Structure 1
Amino acid sequence: MQLPQQLLDSLTGVAGFDKEAFIQVHESGEQVTSVRVNAAKASMVNGEWSKGQIPFKIDQLELSTNNKIPWSSNGYYLPQRPAFIFDPLIHAGAYYVQEASSMFVEQALTQTTDISQPLRVLDLCAAPGGKSTLLQSLISADSLLVSNEVIKSRAAILEENSIKWGGANVIVTNADPTTFERLPNFFDVIMIDAPCSGSGLFRREREAIGEWSEQNVDLCYQRQQRILAAVLPSLKEGGVLIYSTCSYSKEEDEHIADWLMDTFSVDSLPLVIEASWGIVETQSDKHRAYGYRFFPYKVKGEGFFISCFRKQDGGRSVIKPPRKSLLQKASKNETGIVQPWLQAGAPVQLWKQKEEILAFPQQLEKELLTIVDNVYVRRAGIAIGKIAGNDLVPDHALALSTIINPAIVAVTLKKEEALQYLRREEVSLSIGHKGWTLVQFEHYNVGWIKVLPNRINNYYPQGWRILKRGTADSANENS
């Protein structure tokens, strides 16, 4: 692996940089694999993650406390990389494949913000969804997460991963950062994992080496400034900005911190880190702003940088919901049809957009209407389905949600049967029940089938189906 000499030269003098160790770790070929468990769908029993009485394993690999990621509540290293695409549990949203260093976002949020309080959180550059699903796991049920991605194709992946995670208090948007200027002082927390030159990913994505240049670093620095300038007005006074990159370059990290403090009324926030974690605390040249850099020869993870700030001006937002909305509350009749499909007492309001029924937390009605009125929304809350006569045609999102009625009839599939289902192939089962039926694997909901008198219809989403038939998994870890 030939690392760019200009990068190596630029890192000389950076705190914690060891040129020989840096080169060696990139030439070693070592790969680190890590996952984060969805605690809304699994629980810890006697030191083991489980669902019902089934111990949680990934391709027969146990999640051991010996392999826990120290800065993450639910993150674990795996001893080897399994073929994730052929594990039904990942399609059920039981866990997420996430790079270990980026899980440090948990510390950034919990050390700067009271997560027990209702919060409005924006993840601005959110695809493919690692940080969004992490944030959603941390905030309270009466908090709002707006998960945004500007690129349409990546927004579709973000939406898919958000659906699999199953939370109701999430709105997935597809908007340019400038759009959020319409929401002044609205958010308590803004997470920006900024587009960057990607040097922190060299070990994992070797093609990124050929794309790196000093010119690209400078272009990213300018782009990062534009993104921050566009979105900072939507952060309220006292709100927290979490800024991160997967770049080692000071231009995209410490220099951005100094630019932020030159341009806006923000204070740098220090974080507490354990020496054993191997994370390097840095301070910017001008304002001594705190940053935290991850070198892969010091931590078990990839290259990463993160810095936190508190905004000192701007005040709070005044929400004025629109008089007329794209959303309408579901009728009494529609609510009666949907209610048996949901957990008893689920604190959600049912809405209707065109023909689709969706569920969203009751206490976030004003926030929902405000976002829908100002930003292009791909998905809000849980898509429940469509009403056909007096029946519900359930949406896939309902099957994977955390608000579905556990009493709904379900059938448990063995692994090969589950993979057939996930390929959207015909599934042969002997079921006495007729009609809509949940498909489960090891007690985790995977989707819907409809049992008819002479056949079974597979309703797994066409665009999500598994196309591979081998055992190799070439998919990258998600950030």
Structure 2
Amino acid sequence: MLPEDFKNRIQTQLEDSQELFQILEGDSPVSLRLNPNKKIKQFEDCQEVPWCANGFYLEERPDFYKDPLIFNGSYYVQEASSMFLDTVLRQATRLDEAPKILDLCAAPGGKSTLISSFIGEKGMLVSNEIVTKRVNPLIENIQRWGNSNCIVSNNSPKDFEPLKSFFDVAVVDAPCSGEGMFRKDKKAVRMWSDQLVRSCAIRQKQILESIERTIKPGGHLIYSTCTYATAENEENLKWLAETGNFKSIRIPLKEEWGIEEVTEEVGGENFYGYRFYPHKVKGEGFFITCLQKEGEIISNQKIKTPKKSRKVEFMPKKYLSTFKKWIKDSEYYDFILNDDQVSIFPKSNIHDFRLLAHFLSLKLIGVDIGKFKNGKFQPSHHLAISNVLNKGIPAIELNYDQAIDYLKRQDFDLELGNSKGWVLMKYQNQVLGWIKALPNRFNNYYPMDWRLRKNF
């Protein structure tokens, strides 16, 4: 049952409000986005999401936990409307400039994995989450996606304020009242109130105020919510426009998409936003706008770092030959030490990483490739499912039942042949993780915290 105050407001906002109310009582469309670096064929005949590369609709919702390929990052189940970020990025961002992109409110990782697909290994992505308990799911999804130029941080928006004119793009998918998720999430219906809308609008302005200064002149702010409330959408767009620091980027639409373009006039100029209503669009409720920051572009601007900050330690060069077996194109990376853990990050962005380490609480840096244990290198699960793993590592192809048992960390029969040491487990030619082959047996190194707990 939809809240009466919500219905009353929507009736003043939409002429065809009854159509929206009716469709909100039905089922949500199911959609997912493929990982372009992990080619699979099982969804290639599905209907495409027209505004997103690699986005597809499914006719019905399967039990995704029964598919081993979801656990290695071959695809991500994501709501179709929010995939419009792909179209916005393609309009606003030049990949040849190796953009630095911030996803400020990133958990659980849908938009971050989309951004990661978009930039590939060009530039850098910082995926931030302020809520500590939401950081681990974000890390898991970033690791599964596999790129080496991603950083995960656990910070408040205010922590980014010293990074003036640092990012080329800031994506702010702001915490909101959740009206756009009413069809999908009944808890959002129960939690909703007019007071929640008002408090979210205030919080959104505070977030935008903190992050605006981190964007370079000429850079872009992409702001989105999953709500229909004008207080959280158009009014925030107007508030940003009135600062005088931005101009609006108009996104080309196709009529058959059903997306509604809205305008706010400020100072004689139009500022554009884009609304997704579920009775018009095959997706959930969503709002997005893209603004370009104005001002003089400053090259080589220096950011003052604090006197006391985190010391970054790098792997001594004499040990780097250890990793050539494991890492393809290892010469393109710097190797970062954190106690006995080793991570790699592209040399092209290492200066940016060192700067971020002064100000932010970094929870993941590039690819965590492993650790030294008793003087020997032990490869990580992150390395196994990453895009940097060298070809030629020994591997065994599993059947479906073996793959499920492996993901559950249950015992199963496996013909090892002549395999010894670290061996990859594959399913449909996609890497699931490691085992260590020993004489007459093997040890399962799939992460205990990630194991499949469902019984079926």
TM-score by length of 2: 0.95
Among 242, 263, 275, the residue aligned to 1:293? 275
Rate the CA distance shift 1:239–1:265 in 2: closer, same or farther, 3 A.
same
Provide the C-alpha distance between the structure 2 equivalents of 1:344 and 1:17, rounded to a whole number of angstroms.
58
Provide the C-alpha distance between the structure 1 equivalents of 2:385 and 2:198, rounded to a whole number of angstroms.
42
Q: What does residue 151 of structure 1 align with? A: 131
Q: What does residue 18 of structure 2 align with? A: 20
SS at match of 2:231: helix
Among 445, 449, 453, the residue aligned to 1:459? 445
Q: 1:118–1:140: 8 Å Cα contact kept in structure 2?
A: no
How is 1:19-98 mapped onto 2 (pairs within 5 angstroms)? 19-27=17-25, 29-42=26-39, 50=40, 56-57=41-42, 62-64=43-45, 67-98=47-78
Question: In terms of mean alpha carbon deviation, does 18-27 or 240-249 score higher?
Answer: 18-27
Q: 1:412–1:439: 8 Å Cα contact kept in structure 2?
A: yes
Question: How far apart are residue 454 of structure 1 and its match?
Answer: 4.0
Q: What does residue 133 of structure 1 align with? A: 113
- Which amino acid counterpart does residue 336 of structure 2 have in structure 1? W
Q: What does residue 122 of structure 2 align with? A: 142
Q: 1:115–1:140: 8 Å Cα contact kept in structure 2?
A: no
Q: What does residue 368 of structure 2 align with? A: 383
Rate the CA distance shift 1:221–1:263 in 2: closer, same or farther, 3 A.
same
Note if 1:248 corresponds to 2:246: no
- Which amino acid counterpart does residue 52 of structure 2 have in structure 1? S
Q: Number of aligned pairs?
A: 450
Note if 1:318 corresponds to 2:318: no
Provide the C-alpha distance between the structure 2 equivalents of 1:344 and 1:191, rounded to a whole number of angstroms.
31
Provide the C-alpha distance between the structure 2 equivalents of 1:185 and 1:265, rounded to a whole number of angstroms.
13
Among 307, 331, 336, the residue aligned to 2:316? 331
Question: How far apart are residue 332 of structure 1 and its match?
Answer: 2.4
- Which amino acid counterpart does residue 108 of structure 2 have in structure 1? P
SS at match of 2:208: helix
Q: What does residue 142 of structure 2 align with? A: 162
Provide the C-alpha distance between the structure 1 equivalents of 2:177 and 2:244, rounded to a whole number of angstroms.
24
C-alpha offsets along residues 128-178 of structure 1, whole Å, 9 cap, x if unaligned? 000000001111523010000001111110000000000000000000110
SS at match of 1:293: strand
Q: 1:321–1:366: 8 Å Cα contact kept in structure 2?
A: no
Question: In terms of mean alpha carbon deviation, does 82-91 or 330-339 score higher?
Answer: 330-339
Structure 1 unmatched ranges of 5 or more: 43-49, 51-55, 471-479
Question: How far apart are residue 311 of structure 1 and its match?
Answer: 1.1
Q: What does residue 284 of structure 2 align with? A: 302
Provide the C-alpha distance between the structure 1 equivalents of 2:322 and 2:72, rounded to a whole number of angstroms.
25
Q: 1:91–1:164: 8 Å Cα contact kept in structure 2?
A: yes
Provide the C-alpha distance between the structure 2 equivalents of 1:346 and 1:424, rounded to a whole number of angstroms.
35
SS at match of 2:200: helix
Q: What does residue 365 of structure 1 align with? A: 350
- Which amino acid counterpart does residue 54 of structure 2 have in structure 1? N
Q: 1:133–1:165: 8 Å Cα contact kept in structure 2?
A: yes
SS at match of 2:95: coil
Question: How far apart are residue 20 of structure 1 and its match?
Answer: 1.4
Question: In terms of mean alpha carbon deviation, does 311-320 or 373-382 score higher?
Answer: 311-320
Question: How far apart are residue 121 of structure 1 and its match?
Answer: 0.3
Provide the C-alpha distance between the structure 2 equivalents of 1:442 and 1:140, rounded to a whole number of angstroms.
23
Provide the C-alpha distance between the structure 2 equivalents of 1:424 and 1:359, rounded to a whole number of angstroms.
28
C-alpha offsets along residues 298-332 of structure 1, whole Å, 9 cap, x if unaligned? 11110000011111137544257889853222122
Note if 1:11 corresponds to 2:10: yes
Provide the C-alpha distance between the structure 1 equivalents of 2:34 and 2:363, rounded to a whole number of angstroms.
25
Q: What does residue 407 of structure 2 align with? A: 422
Q: 1:269–1:308: 8 Å Cα contact kept in structure 2?
A: yes
Question: How far apart are residue 347 of structure 1 and its match?
Answer: 2.2
- Which amino acid counterpart does residue 302 of structure 2 have in structure 1? V
- Which amino acid counterpart does residue 422 of structure 1 have in structure 2? L
SS at match of 2:165: coil
Question: How far apart are residue 427 of structure 1 and its match?
Answer: 3.3
C-alpha offsets along residues 154-206 of structure 1, whole Å, 9 cap, x if unaligned? 11100000000000000000001100012111000000000000000000011
Question: How far apart are residue 387 of structure 1 and its match?
Answer: 2.2
Rate the CA distance shift 1:206–1:450 in 2: closer, same or farther, 3 A.
same
Note if 1:393 corresponds to 2:378: yes
C-alpha offsets along residues 363-422 of structure 1, whole Å, 9 cap, x if unaligned? 111011111121000000000111235531011100010010120001111111111111
Q: 1:150–1:175: 8 Å Cα contact kept in structure 2?
A: yes
Q: 2:323–2:330: 8 Å Cα contact kept in structure 1?
A: no
Structure 2 unmatched ranges of 5 or more: none
C-alpha offsets along residues 45-88 of structure 1, whole Å, 9 cap, x if unaligned? xxxxx4xxxxx21xxxx332x60000011100011111111211
Instruction: Provide the identity percentage.
Output: 39
Q: 1:193–1:243: 8 Å Cα contact kept in structure 2?
A: yes
Provide the C-alpha distance between the structure 1 equivalents of 2:155 and 2:130, rounded to a whole number of angstroms.
5
Q: What does residue 233 of structure 1 align with? A: 213
Q: 2:241–2:266: 8 Å Cα contact kept in structure 1?
A: no
Note if 1:176 corresponds to 2:156: yes
Question: In terms of mean alpha carbon deviation, does 445-454 or 382-391 score higher?
Answer: 382-391
Q: What does residue 412 of structure 1 align with? A: 397
Note if 1:109 corresponds to 2:79: no
How is 1:443-458 mapped onto 2 (pairs within 5 angstroms)? 443-458=429-444
Q: 2:28–2:284: 8 Å Cα contact kept in structure 1?
A: no
Q: 2:105–2:128: 8 Å Cα contact kept in structure 1?
A: yes
Q: 2:93–2:99: 8 Å Cα contact kept in structure 1?
A: no
Question: How far apart are residue 286 of structure 1 and its match?
Answer: 5.2
Q: What does residue 262 of structure 1 align with? A: 242
Provide the C-alpha distance between the structure 1 equivalents of 2:373 and 2:165, rounded to a whole number of angstroms.
42
How large is the RMSD of aligned CA atoms in angstroms?
Answer: 1.8
